């Protein structure tokens, strides 16, 4: 398989960081050597801080603590966080604890929230870097469906209103916050588009139950990620549904379109929570998908750690997602044939609108001319390399066809026609 020339790597990302960030990290390293390691990533103290900050006490289902405890342990022992990384991790966890408290408080005071019905949601999943994002963003252009935007997932209180949705005052503050991702990890936008108004992945919703791949994307925490793959996710997907009910309250009901590669690992829990869910599974050769994703992670994680090993990342992601794919293949056998629609990455790249037409027809949805026109317009305004070309080499991450064949034999055999 032909590889692409390397352009993005962790060292370059670190070296391109602003001087003030590098200075903070150097100072933090000196403090750590002196035995001073702050802020303190401790579960009980984070929970205490969240309660004090919000003035609230009720987190709801307390099973979230298991994930938070393992997460903080791994962040302390494994992640090799820089000083900026430690600060970011602390406030990342604190924000999600506060969101959880605020959502539970609003839900307890608003009896209409639990009455919201989530009908036939569509979930886009598949290996990362297989076209899930562009497919998600295009379908989100259809006004007859609903996708959660980054700003409302980040700041969900109060629930968004349809009349003011496009101009909500929270949009600008979230846009400024997202701009920090490029400052911390230069080159990230060339790999993965981000924006306050863009549809957000479900990992950010699941993050406030603290079993979420989002944390594994940002930080080097392999034990946490392995632990998460073996958890009963019933409570996590119940939290996911609660979050959607909240966002839907003042906006109005519309079919949800959602996305996360991690859903592949939990299809049986997903369809237990959403029995009428429609699943879209995107496909690409694992070698190319994992190489691209390893490049993304190397760039992103370099914003939070000065010790990023591309080969270690590549091997871990290849093995990690082979488990996810195998679980997804096993779980899909129990689903209705008409519940899953398969899509090839190559078809998405060559003619995404035709793919969407077939998808709508398959799930008996109506694609209006207005929606299709908006999708065409979005493609024109958001070309593939809008923020720079993303180039990478499988070899740089220690990946090759031999390892691909060892880890993904069943997937390669079963979905061969979608991989070319």
Domains of the chain and any CATH numbers: 120-418 (3.40.50.300)
**What is the pLDDT, as a whole number, of residue 5?**
34
- Find the helix packing angle between 352-362 and 132-139, rounded to 10°: 70
Distances (CA, A) of 288 to 101, 128, 211, 320: 40, 10, 27, 15
Asked if 211 contacts 122 with a C-beta cutoff of 8 angstroms, the reply is no
Distance CA 122, CA 365 (A): 11
Q: List the beta bridge partners of residue 126.
A: 282
Q: What's the pTM value of the predicted model, to 2 decimals?
A: 0.92
**What is the pLDDT, as a whole number, of residue 183?**
81
Asked if 132 contacts 348 with a C-beta cutoff of 8 angstroms, the reply is no
Distance CA 327, CA 45 (A): 36
**What is the pLDDT, as a whole number, of residue 193?**
80
Tokens 């699943």 map to which residue? 279
**What is the pLDDT, as a whole number, of residue 13?**
52
HEC string of the chain? Answer: CCCCCCCCCHHHHHHCCCHHHHHHHHHHHHHHHCCCCCCCCCHHHHHHHHHHHHCCCCCCCCCHHHHHHHHHHHHHHCCCCCHHHHHHHHHHHHHHHHHHHHHHHHHHHCCCHHHCCCCCCEEEEECCCCCHHHHHHHHCCCCCCECCEHHHHHCCCCCCCHHHHHHCCHHHHHHHHHHHHHHHCCCHHHHCCCCCCCECCCHHHHHHHCCCHHHHHHCCCHHHHHHHHCCCCHHHHHHHHHHHHHHHCCCCCCCEEEECHHHHHHHHHHHHHCCCCEEEEEECCHHHHHHHHHHHHHHHHCCCCCCCCHHHHHHHHHHHHHHHHHHHHHHHCCCCHHHEEEEEHHHHHHCHHHHHHHHHHHCCCCCCHHHHHHHHHHHHHCCCCCCCCCCCCHHHHCCCHHHHHHHCHHHHHHCHHHCC
**What is the pLDDT, as a whole number, of residue 3?**
39
Give the tens place of pLDDT for each residue, 278-332. 999 999 999 999 999 999 999 999 999 989 999 999 999 999 999 999 999 999 9
Per-residue pLDDT of the chain (420 residues; tens, 9 = 90+): 333 333 344 444 545 677 777 777 777 777 676 676 789 999 999 999 999 999 999 999 999 999 999 999 999 999 999 999 999 999 999 999 999 999 999 999 999 999 999 999 999 999 999 999 999 999 999 999 999 999 999 999 999 999 999 999 999 999 998 888 778 877 777 777 889 999 999 999 999 999 999 999 999 999 999 999 999 999 999 999 999 999 999 998 899 999 999 999 999 999 999 999 999 999 999 999 999 999 999 999 999 998 999 999 999 999 999 999 999 999 999 898 899 999 999 999 999 999 999 999 999 999 999 999 999 999 999 876 554 566 789 999 999 999 999 999 999 999 999 998
């Amino acid at each position: 398989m032909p590889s692409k020339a390397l352009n993005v790597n962790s060292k370059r990302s670190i070296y391109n960081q602003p001087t003030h960030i590098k200075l903070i990290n150097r100072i933090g390293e000196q403090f750590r050597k002196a035995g001073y390691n702050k802020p303190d990533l401790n579960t009980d103290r984070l929970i205490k801080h969240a309660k004090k900050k919000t003035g609230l006490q009720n987190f709801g289902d307390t099973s979230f603590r298991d994930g938070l405890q393992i997460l903080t342990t791994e962040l302390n022992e494994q992640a090799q966080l820089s000083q900026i990384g430690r600060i970011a991790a602390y406030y990342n966890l604190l924000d999600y604890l506060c969101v959880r408290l605020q959502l539970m408080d609003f839900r307890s005071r608003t009896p209409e929230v639990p009455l919201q019905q989530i009908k036939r949601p569509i979930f886009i999943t598949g290996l990362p870097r297989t076209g899930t994002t562009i497919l998600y963003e295009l379908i989100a252009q259809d006004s007859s469906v609903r996708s959660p935007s980054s700003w409302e997932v980040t700041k969900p209180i109060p629930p968004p209103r349809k009349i003011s949705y496009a101009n909500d005052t929270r949009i600008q503050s979230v846009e400024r916050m997202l701009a920090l991702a490029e400052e911390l990890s230069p080159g990230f936008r060339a790999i993965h588009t981000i924006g306050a108004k863009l549809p957000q992945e479900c990992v950010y919703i699941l993050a406030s139950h603290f079993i979420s791949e989002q944390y594994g994307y940002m930080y080097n925490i392999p034990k946490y990620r392995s632990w998460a793959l073996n958890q009963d996710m019933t409570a996590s997907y119940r939290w996911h549904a609660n979050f959607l009910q909240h966002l839907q309250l003042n906006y109005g009901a519309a079919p949800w379109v959602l996305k996360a590669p991690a859903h592949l690992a939990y299809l049986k829990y997903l369809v237990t929570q959403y029995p009428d869910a429609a699943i879209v599974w995107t496909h690409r050769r694992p070698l190319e998908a994992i190489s691209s994703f390893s490049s993304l992670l190397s760039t992103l994680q370099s914003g939070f750690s000065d010790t990023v090993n591309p080969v270690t990342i590549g091997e871990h992601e290849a093995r990690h997602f082979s488990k996810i794919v195998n679980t997804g293949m096993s779980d899909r056998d129990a689903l209705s044939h008409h519940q899953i629609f398969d899509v090839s990455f190559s078809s998405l790249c060559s003619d995404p609108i035709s793919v969407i037409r077939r998808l709508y027809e398959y799930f008996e949805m109506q694609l209006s001319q207005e929606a299709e026109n908006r999708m065409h317009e979005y493609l024109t305004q958001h070309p593939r390399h809008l923020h720079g070309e993303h180039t990478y080499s499988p070899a740089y991450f220690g990946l090759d066809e031999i390892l691909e064949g060892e880890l993904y034999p069943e997937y390669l055999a079963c979905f061969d026609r979608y991989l070319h």
